[in-house]
Structure 1
Amino acid sequence: MQDHKEKKLTDTAISVLDLVPIVAGKTAADSFKNTLNLAQHVERLGFTRYWLAEHHNMPGIASSATALLIGHVASGTSTIRVGSGGIMLPNHAPLVVAEQFGTLETLYPGRIDLGLGRAPGTDQQTAMALRRDLVGNVEDFPRHVEELQNYLGPVNPNARVRAVPGEGSNVPIWLLGSSTFGAQLAGMLGLPYAFASHFAPAALHHALKVYRESFRPSDTLQTPYAMACVNVTAAATDAEAELLATSLYQSFLSVIRGTARQMQPPAQSMENLWDASEKYAVQQMLRYTFIGAKATVKEQLQAFLDDTQVDEIMVASHIYDHNARLKSYEILGEIMNGK
């Protein structure tokens, strides 16, 4: 493993995860406008990729039709990679995913990523409403990943079922996860791996270890490539950032309570909004959340990079005010560019 002092933020790819939040008092249409505006903003700042995540039946998240939104963002940008973080494969037939992403790759060549997850991205009842059949389950995930690889791989005129468009496109496939299952599968298949440490931090180090140790070179990847997602709220001062971050805390508090709602404005204090056990639970989920002014966030991110030795950092910024969100990524861009 590399010496922990060798990797620098300025040499590390930084990317964006957008959950397309619907903020209180606004609509999904507003969210879509903000998403494209943010993508154009971070493209100018030099970020590597812009991913959107599939969620369903959540009043505060508008990214349910993920492939459509990827097309929306790709059509309004020109250089940044755009993809899924991720498509929840149990909800979809692999052929449909291959055709969708083959179409996206045909429209925006060399810019599309396909990140795959094995969770449904929703509650159990909604998962049943989404299912293409009633017999499949997450244990089919490895087989479906390989099926998808075949559809997007080299053209095979003799195949009984072909993805058109899709075949020959070789859209890069990433495996996503919050446990060691996806890490081991990504390693065995020689695929890049992204860990969801922005909400499920517990298994991060173990998963990275499993991924690196189980990695087998493939036609698409010769050495392990690991990415981790974190939350960042950056502002002019530590105090301002802490205030902005209360929207993130409220969102995760709603998850814990099972009372999903639109993103709430910042709160002057969280003490009257959660009890001690709820506060602890939120803080555990948000262990890899970096909040503060530029110097503070830079120090926190560098420590995270030293600790994990990941190849890329993906950043989610759950901020109520769109302009403040733009500013947070701007500060992050300055850190990334050594300013």
Structure 2
Amino acid sequence: MKLSILDQAPVVAGQSPGDALRSSALLAQAGERFGYSRFWLAEHHGLGGLACSTPEVMLGMIGAVTSRIRLGAGAILLPYYKPYKVAETFRLLAALFPGRIDLGVARSPGGPAEISMALSDNYLERALRMPDDFAALVRYLNDEKPGTQAPEQEDSIQAKRGSAQALDASSTGPAPWVLGTSVKSARLAAAFGTGYAYGYFMNRENAAEAIAAYRDAFDRSRGERPCVVLAVSAVCADTQERAEEIARGVKAWRLLAGQGRGEAGIPGPDEAARLLGPDDSASTDESGLEHAMIVGEPSRVRDRLSELRETFGADELMIVSYAHDFADRLRSYELIMQACGD
């Protein structure tokens, strides 16, 4: 199966956000060695324990220390920005690293309300205008300049769609993607013929409906065919016992985040045991609709990932893997590729 990496730049207990960002670069290099197809960085703001607020800055640095793996934002939170500026930034990255840059966008706030207000006085209004802004973004990615549309067309989403041609896979420009967990985001991707990445690790409930809506509505005049990436959380280790030990640290971190203490970072085994209790098990953390996580030794993880790929017909699986120890995190990605990769 085709595999990629989604990195949220998690902070580890005892380390700084800068350490987390430097680890992201090391992870991208390792992902390239292991054979992963893409490395995407997420954007978060004021969200304790997640260090990357500006993926575009990190991508410039990571592009300079890698040579083949596709790099992208997963995602730029478009309601905070003017589409033309986002297009300029990613066209510049594409010029530096031709044929390697993806631009994923989403409407999520990516942080608490007070941070959203600090970033944009009209976030909610801009979120509602996401289809218009995405239409403009796609035009600018295709090198159309502001003012080239008639005034009446600027206010018409249907007219905007008429000029939006998604870049194909062979293009050297930035390839646009829509990321989300809803039918609304799926239909936006379908309308512009772009790829669609569904955040299964964030919300399992809407996956089947959203992906079906994307495929049903996909506009083949703007894209060759639908392409679905399913983003999944997984922890893999050489043994089931070790995988569960690593995952307990991740589960404890989520507990801290729920208490507003996520900035403390992913705790080590001793602290995780103290927070969760000695009898807690991380092996079956798939009962809730959010934060589903596959935990196990390689064959178990392979079987579960294969099942998800078949269930949703995913073209690609994008793996989110956390660990307190960076060596464990690298090993998780290495084992997953060895067990599942093309």
TM-score (norm 2): 0.86
Does 2:318 align with 1:329?
no
CA distance in 2, matches of 1:114, 1:317: 21
RMSD: 2.6
Instruction: Check the 8 A contact 1:179/1:207 in 2, yes or no.
Output: yes
Quick one: structure 1 residues 46 and 177, their matched pair in 2 at CA, closer, same or farther if it must change by over 3 Å?
Answer: same
Q: How does 1:177-256 map to 2 (within 5 A)?
A: 177-219=180-222, 221-256=223-258
Alignment-derived partner of residue 33 in structure 1 = 22
Does 2:84 align with 1:95?
yes
CA distance in 1, matches of 2:339, 2:126: 42
Q: How does 1:137-176 map to 2 (within 5 A)?
A: 137-155=126-144, 159=148, 170-176=173-179
CA distance in 2, matches of 1:127, 1:36: 27
SS in 1 for 2:45: coil
* Structure 1 position 325, deviation (Å): 0.5
Q: Provide Cα deviations, 1:150-179, integer angstroms capped at 9, x if missing partner.
A: 11114559749xxxxxx9964110001011
Instruction: Check the 8 A contact 2:48/2:257 in 1, yes or no.
Output: no
Quick one: structure 1 residues 184 and 247, their matched pair in 2 at CA, closer, same or farther if it must change by over 3 Å?
Answer: same
Instruction: Check the 8 A contact 1:201/1:285 in 2, yes or no.
Output: yes
Instruction: Check the 8 A contact 2:95/2:173 in 1, yes or no.
Output: no
Query: Matched residues, percent identical?
Result: 31
Alignment-derived partner of residue 74 in structure 1 = 63
Instruction: Check the 8 A contact 2:79/2:123 in 1, yes or no.
Output: no
Q: Structure 1: which 5+ residue stretches go unaligned?
A: 1-11, 161-166
Q: Provide Cα deviations, 1:46-87, integer angstroms capped at 9, x if missing partner.
A: 100000000010231111011101111111100000001100
SS in 2 for 1:324: helix
CA distance in 1, matches of 2:306, 2:286: 25
CA distance in 2, matches of 1:30, 1:252: 20
CA distance in 2, matches of 1:40, 1:87: 22
TM-score (norm 1): 0.86
Alignment length, in residue pairs?
317
Q: What letter corresponds to residue 249 of structure 2 in structure 1?
A: S
Instruction: Check the 8 A contact 1:176/1:194 in 2, yes or no.
Output: yes
Instruction: Check the 8 A contact 1:81/1:111 in 2, yes or no.
Output: yes
Does 2:322 align with 1:318?
yes
SS in 1 for 2:324: coil
* Structure 1 position 231, deviation (Å): 0.7
* Structure 1 position 135, deviation (Å): 7.4
